[in-house]
Amino acid sequence: MEPTRRFWVIAALGTAGAALALLFGDVLWVGIPLGIGAWALIEQLTFTNQLTQLSRSAPITQSLTRDAVLVDDATTLEIRTNPDHEPLLETLDATLTVTPHPALTVEADHEHDLAGETELISLPLRISVAGSYEISPPRVRMRSARGLFEESLPLGNQCTLTAEPRVPRDIHVGTGGERIAVAFGDHDANQGGSGFDPGELREYMPGDPTNRIDWNATARLGDPYIREYEAETTRQTQLIVDHRAQMRTGPDGQTKLDYAREVATWLTDYAAGLDDPLGLTLVSDDHVSGPTTPAADAAHYRRIRQELLDLTTAPESSPPPTSRSNRSANRALPRSSRDARRLAAGLDSDDEFARTLRSYFADVAGYVDRRADDPLFQAVQTRLADNSGDSWLVVVTDDTNRAELLETVRAAATPETFVTVFLLPSVLFDTTEFRDIEAAYGEYRDFETFRQQLEATRAVTAFEVGPSDRLEALLATTHTQRATQ
């Protein structure tokens, strides 16, 4: 509680009365300061009682018309005064002030005179940064009835506003341009289908989609076999999400990371719906982080969702290799140290050109052997070392570093670990249109070859993830052009 300017003026009058009493030696002048002091004390006690009454009740309530919005969308903060307290608030000359979070923009006056307001105050809000924000109770500054004292108190309730990033709405998850049979995000427990958890093998039947043939089992058993996938899993799950610099490729709100975040969030909800233990690992250009220990409680799932919501790409130190020329160069590198050594050994001539290439491929072999220093490889190996028993490893990444990914998956897939890769093809995230449709289609076919190469590894399933409209446009245009030739 603070004294106002009026209080100090009146206190000065009381002091002057006391001085006159001393000057004239007349006790009657003493009554002036005593009377003023008693009057001020009564005012203070009455004001204190009124403030206590307001703080113990609910004179003001606030709520949001929408407590979950997209970034840059508007919502409205509605503040209501309790009719039973309006006379007292008017008597106390109450002024309400809203102090928003720095990320919130209040599109109206921050201060409102409650004595002159109607029962409802509406404040349009807009939020520019994704996240969850607490809106504190509004502060109300009040003055005592005669204006001697004033106080500012938070009156009302706290509410929470969540802003989600603008994300893609039409996500393709599938293989070879075909969506998976079970709708993305909709899996029934204990139902066979083409979900994500590996199930039993069965013989191929006429009419089964060919992209569900398990070629490893087919080669081993001699007849075509289909692997069923179940929607429910009781295994411990480790989710690894790549958010390195190359994941920022794509239009705003539709980057690789936006799609990766959507898939990872859905997988989190999927695990939460089945009470599956889930761990999260985030891979950046220079470190690995995240709540790595799998758990199955509600607070843990919320923490993972928030980690994914706050996820951004690392600052880019050099342009990511997303151009078509760079992707072609990446595809030309050996896929493993064995490939590199075989290429080096095949250069058996003794001319200068062969000697140069032998040295080059020998260096590449050493580079492949040093993949343990790569963030993704390191993340996978660390998480698998922490697990005991069967586990399901889910990797969400793109196809920029194909050799690294292939070596990582091969090292991770074991009889105790099934690996699922959600892979974002770079060709679908070029910000330019498909000027050379044949070249773009060639890149997509090359990506599909790489995806199949991943799936050729035992206990590995790989799905493509990307914008459905761009993939459909690419495939439809290519089909039309070839049909007219």
The CATH number of the domain where 185 resides is what?
A: 3.40.50.410
- pLDDT above 70 (res 49): yes
**Mean pLDDT on 361-385:** 64
Q: Is residue 108 located within the same domain as residue 26?
A: no
Contact 374, 286 (CB under 8 A): no
Q: Is residue 96 located within the same domain as residue 122?
A: yes
Report yes or no on 346 lying in a domain.
Answer: yes
Q: Is residue 103 located within the same domain as residue 24?
A: no
**Mean pLDDT on 189-214:** 59
Give me the helix-helix angle, 324-332 and 437-455, nearest 10°.
40
Report yes or no on 250 lying in a domain.
Answer: yes
Report yes or no on 467 lying in a domain.
Answer: yes
Task: Give the closest residue to 455 by CA, choosing from 242, 217, 220.
Answer: 217
Task: Give the closest residue to 474 by CA, choosing from 141, 176, 131, 70.
Answer: 176
Q: Is residue 66 located within the same domain as residue 39?
A: no
Give pLDDT, residue 371.
54
Report yes or no on 65 lying in a domain.
Answer: yes
Give the model's confidence band at 207: pLDDT under 50 very low, under 70 low, under 90 confident, else very high.
low
Q: Beta 417-424 vs 391-398: how paired, if at all?
A: parallel
**Count: domains in the chain:** 3
- pLDDT above 50 (res 335): no
Q: Is residue 144 located within the same domain as residue 183?
A: no
- pLDDT above 60 (res 255): yes
Q: 19-28, 75-84, 456-465 — which is least confidently predicted?
A: 19-28
Give the model's confidence band at 22: pLDDT under 50 very low, under 70 low, under 90 confident, else very high.
confident
Give pLDDT, residue 345.
54
In 10 A of CB 353, how many CB atoms? 9
Is residue 460 packed enough to be buried (19+ CB in 10 Å), middle (13-18) or exposed (0-12)?
buried
Residue 150 sits in a domain whose CATH number is 2.60.40.10
Report yes or no on 203 lying in a domain.
Answer: no
- pLDDT above 60 (res 117): no
Q: Is residue 284 located within the same domain as residue 190?
A: yes
Report yes or no on 218 lying in a domain.
Answer: no
Q: Is residue 427 located within the same domain as residue 374?
A: yes
pLDDT tens per residue across span 268-279: 988 888 888 999
Last residue of a domain, one of 114, 140, 164: 164
Q: Is residue 149 located within the same domain as residue 281?
A: no
H-helix or E-strand containing 268?
A: helix 256-274
Tokens of 328: 């072609």
Q: Is residue 188 located within the same domain as residue 131?
A: no
Cβ-proximal residues to 84 (8 Å cutoff; 6+ apart), any chain: none
SS3 426: helix
- Whether the pTM exceeds 0.85: the reply is no
Q: Is residue 289 located within the same domain as residue 191?
A: yes
Report yes or no on 210 lying in a domain.
Answer: no
Q: Which residue has the higher pLDDT, 384 or 115?
A: 384
Q: Is residue 292 located within the same domain as residue 182?
A: yes
Give the model's confidence band at 325: pLDDT under 50 very low, under 70 low, under 90 confident, else very high.
very low
Give pLDDT, residue 242.
93
Q: Is residue 465 located within the same domain as residue 417?
A: yes
Q: How far is CA 465 from CA 255, 260, 426, 446, 475, in A?
A: 12, 8, 10, 15, 15
Give the model's confidence band at 348: pLDDT under 50 very low, under 70 low, under 90 confident, else very high.
low
Report yes or no on 309 lying in a domain.
Answer: yes
Give pLDDT, residue 311.
82
Give the model's confidence band at 125: pLDDT under 50 very low, under 70 low, under 90 confident, else very high.
confident
Instruction: Give the number of residues written for the chain.
Output: 485
Cβ-proximal residues to 5 (8 Å cutoff; 6+ apart), any chain: none
Q: What is the rounded CA–CA span in Å between residue 479 and residue 472?
A: 10
pLDDT tens per residue across span 152-201: 888 888 888 888 776 676 788 988 888 874 434 333 334 334 444 555 67
Q: What percent of the chain has pLDDT over 90?
A: 14
Domain interval for residue 111 = 60-164
